[in-house]
A and B are shown apart, each in its own frame.
Chain A
């Protein structure tokens, strides 16, 4: 199943850093994640960038069992 990584404020809103969700597109995976984690997480996803295996993707991107989906809110490094 696709593996999810939540970072920074997304990790805090989800209450976990990792999850696995069985769905076949980025949008379907995130829809299930929003159901699991609720409103605060949904608001974070709305302003986040989504990477699959380190690359920026759109919501209709297909995902498979070995893909890693990262939810990246606006950053504040440095």
Chain B
């Protein structure tokens, strides 16, 4: 059987995210495992309750470049990966809506779990992205911040 080339799908954009669409896209004949992570807006942050939305701000170019570096490292670390999708919504994301999705397919579950966790954990510390907490009385930059750590091999 001819091998299926690996595929990456990276997006940083204001459009709404669909986990189901990305799972369908990552489904491949040579992969028996698909792991999906969906990061959704919850009603409390480190400093506020009754959160109504988050507002994400970035440079789409810098963020997509950074995510591409993360996926590249993941592929070198887990060469068996099939499809890898990492999508981050920008702008306003309402309560319970999806802000970020990582979907990884691979022949077996171990590398799919490991690579998906690596991608979301590394995204949170290395991708240039900032969010504001929005509640009924106002908004402010999230206090849940991390110094940027550029993704590294190994």
Q: Which residues of B contact A75 (CB under 8 A)?
A: 124-130, 145-146, 148
Q: Which residues of B contact A74 (CB under 8 A)?
A: 145-148
Complex CA–CA separation, A78 to B41 (angstroms): 10
A77 touches B62 (CB 8 A): no
- Tell whether B65 is near chain A: CB-to-CB under 8 Å: yes
A7 touches B59 (CB 8 A): yes
Q: Nearest B residue to A49 by beta-carbon distance?
A: B148
Give min CB distance, A35 to chain B, whole Å.
24
- Tell whether B142 is near chain A: CB-to-CB under 8 Å: yes
B128 touches A70 (CB 8 A): yes
A72 touches B99 (CB 8 A): no
Give min CB distance, B66 to chain A, whole Å.
8
Q: Nearest A residue to B90 by beta-carbon distance?
A: A77
- Tell whether B48 is near chain A: CB-to-CB under 8 Å: no
Q: Which residues of A contact B141 (CB under 8 A)?
A: 8-9, 12, 76
Give min CB distance, B101 to chain A, whole Å.
11
A76 touches B129 (CB 8 A): yes
**Could you say which of B39, B62, B129, B130 contacts A54, with CB atoms under 8 Å apart?**
B62
Q: Which residues of B contact A62 (CB under 8 A)?
A: none
- Tell whether B117 is near chain A: CB-to-CB under 8 Å: no
Give min CB distance, A64 to chain B, whole Å.
19
Q: Nearest A residue to B121 by beta-carbon distance?
A: A78
Q: Which residues of B contact A34 (CB under 8 A)?
A: none
B150 touches A77 (CB 8 A): no
B123 touches A78 (CB 8 A): yes
Q: Which residues of B contact A12 (CB under 8 A)?
A: 141
- Tell whether B36 is near chain A: CB-to-CB under 8 Å: no
Name which of B56, B124, B131, B148 has the most chain A CB atoms within 10 A of its CB.
Answer: B148
With A74-B145, A75-B127, A77-B56 known, 4 other A-B pairs at CB within 8 A are A11-B57, A72-B128, A76-B130, A78-B99
